[in-house]
Amino acid sequence: MLKKLFFILSKEDKNFLFFLLVFSVFVSFIETFAISLVMPFITLASDFSYFDRNKYLISLKEYLNIPVFEIIVYFGVGLIVFYVFRALLNAYYFHLLARFSKGRYHAIAYKVFSKFLNINYEKFTQKNQSEILKSITGEVYNLSTMISSFLLLMSEIFVVLLLYALMLLINYKITLFLSIFMVLNAFILVKILSPIIKKAGVRREEAMKNFFEILNTNLNNFKFIKL
């Protein structure tokens, strides 16, 4: 599937796709870092005594030479600023993602349409017009959606891997237990849900084909229907 996708994309599209993949890795690091900041802030805000027990926090308090309450306030303000930056970064990433996927929808639909226009009339008359309409609209749209889903999937995979590494550092026993549970879920997904989804996809394909055939037949015979 990926080989077919890369075959369709131009050199510029492939370069931009690679840029989006690299950018998604950066976004994943920001997401993971944002998640990891929440619990330390809650812990410190709920118990100031950590500043008297932890050597790093003691050094920080002595270096800043301000009350603990003010340190927590500055930490909270910094956390809010960081989360605003994270939100803006995510918005920009989704903007690039939508621009790329929807832009490919227009470009690929134009290529498919041009290809049909360039075939000779005899071959064109032998083709089902509803199938042509479905290819230009529905299938190209599904392809652009697949590109967007692929990039989102890669971003989420990086987030999961980074969180998994962080969990291993914190408590490897609980992480290994969760890993067994995740492997079991993956097995259920691949062996049980995946065949069901494939069958549903085949039914959707057949339903969309019939839908376009009905539309094409009725529109081409609109005069006879009215008469």
The number of C-alpha atoms within 13 Å of 57 and in the hemisphere containing its C-beta is 19
Dig out the tokens for 129 from the structure.
């017009």
pLDDT score for 81? 92
8 A C-beta contact, residue 68 and residue 51: yes
- Please, is 180 exposed, middle or buried when counting C-beta atoms within 10 Å of its C-beta (0-12, 13-18, 19+)? exposed
Residues 6 or more apart whose CB falls under 8 angstroms from that of 215 comprise: 130, 133
pLDDT score at 85 = 92
The one-letter amino acid code at 84 reads: V
On whether the CB atoms of residues 134 and 212 are closer than 8 A, the answer is: yes
Per-residue pLDDT of the chain (227 residues; tens, 9 = 90+): 556 566 666 777 778 878 888 888 888 888 878 888 888 888 888 887 877 887 877 788 888 888 888 888 888 898 899 999 988 998 898 888 888 777 776 677 677 667 666 766 666 666 666 566 666 666 667 777 777 777 777 777 877 777 777 777 777 777 788 778 778 877 777 777 777 877 777 777 677 777 666 666 665 665 555 55
What pLDDT score does 189 carry?
A: 75
Q: Where are the alpha helices (DSSP H) in the chain?
A: 2-8, 11-46, 50-53, 55-64, 68-118, 121-126, 129-134, 140-170, 172-188, 194-220, 222-226
**pTM reported for the whole predicted model:** 0.64
Residue partners of 44: CB distance under 8 A and separation at least 6: 50, 51, 57, 72, 75
CA 144/CA 43 separation, integer angstroms: 44
Total Cβ atoms within 10 A of residue 7: 7
Cα Rg, the chain, nearest whole Å: 27
Asked if 209 and 130 touch (Cβ cutoff 8 Å), the reply is yes
d(CA 193, CA 199): 10
The pLDDT, as a whole number, for residue 219 is 59
